[in-house]
Chain A
Amino acid sequence: MKTFGRILIILTAFTVLGGLMMWVGNANGVNSPSFARNSGEAEFRPLQGDEDGQEGSRPPREVGEDHEGREGRGSFGGRWVFSLIKNVGVISVLVVAIVLPKSIIKKKRKAPVSPA
């Protein structure tokens, strides 16, 4: 019961925060397909892509923008390795930048003070 209540709190916080973000984003009209601030403005991009011609449908992907990786930017094999190295690299740099100075400071503090 306690766990269920906690799950409810987490999901409520997620929903409220997410709802707030959607409200702020949409209230400013920035989600219009044309990215126009004023909803009365003309659509710069012709309607296309969707079978029912629904307004705001996603524009077709550019060449090399395939998410399935067949014709992706660069080869499929190399791409994920590059992405992995980049992302793990960013995290590693941050870890080293914080952990290293911290351990140096800690060691200095631990080192016996030389007599004056």
Chain B
Amino acid sequence: MANEPTKTSTPQTKTKLVLDILIFIVFLVAMDPHSSGIAIHEWLTLASLAALTLHLLLSWDWIVEITQRFFKKIGTQTRINYVLNWLLFIFGTLVMVSGILISEAALPSLGIRLPQGFFWRRLHDMSANLVLLLLGLHTALHWSWIVKTFDRYIFQPIAAKFSTSKPKDVSA
């Protein structure tokens, strides 16, 4: 993660990368329920709660450290990043909650039927679009981490497979 004050171990970075790619793909699928079908949309996003929880667990040290130092001296970008992450959490929660309240497949299959309100449907759509924008900003702020990690764990190993020369050291 960009601005991360604590250095994460290499295997954790790899886990983070795989997890983030997975979350990104799930989000893109979730953004188009008309193509995936509503049942896949609902079960996939509900299951992604586990991946999102793991994503937060892997960034736990950063969250705690910046929470403690927020009103002390920290960089502007770190401060913006922190606020943005909270907004992402708040609106992500709103997407999930409004989705659960308008559920057409998951909840009914569990025998739960809620009155369908237009308000929550509108809110679900609006908050999903807002999360898309926030995710764009989140991605932008972590761009150097994404480039570095992709290079280290994806591009370099692939290049090493095809090159006849000695592979580059990727452990740094």
Contacts and interface: CB of A to CB of B under 8 A. Distances in A.
Interface of A: 3, 6-7, 10-11, 13-14, 17-18, 21-22, 25, 30-33, 35, 50, 54-59, 66-69, 72-73, 76, 79-80, 83-84, 87-88, 90-95, 97-99
B9 interface: no
A31 B60 contact: no
Given A79-B34, A83-B32, A90 B133 contact: yes
Interface of A is mostly: helix
A64 B28 CA distance: 21
B56 A30 contact: no
Give the 9 A-B residue pairs with the shortest CB-CB distance, closest first.
A56-B115, A94-B136, A31-B117, A98-B140, A80-B35, A83-B32, A58-B116, A67-B38, A18-B97
B155 interface: no
Contacts of B57: 3, 6-7, 10
A22 B97 CA distance: 8
A79 B143 CA distance: 29
Contacts of B38: 67-68
Nearest to B115: A56
Interface residues of B, number: 41
Interface of B is mostly: helix
Interface of B: 28, 31-38, 41, 49, 53, 56-57, 60, 89-90, 93-94, 96-98, 101, 104, 113, 115-120, 123, 132-133, 135-137, 139-141, 143
A6 B5 CA distance: 19
Contacts of A69: 34-37
Contact of A21 (B35, B36, B94, B137): B94
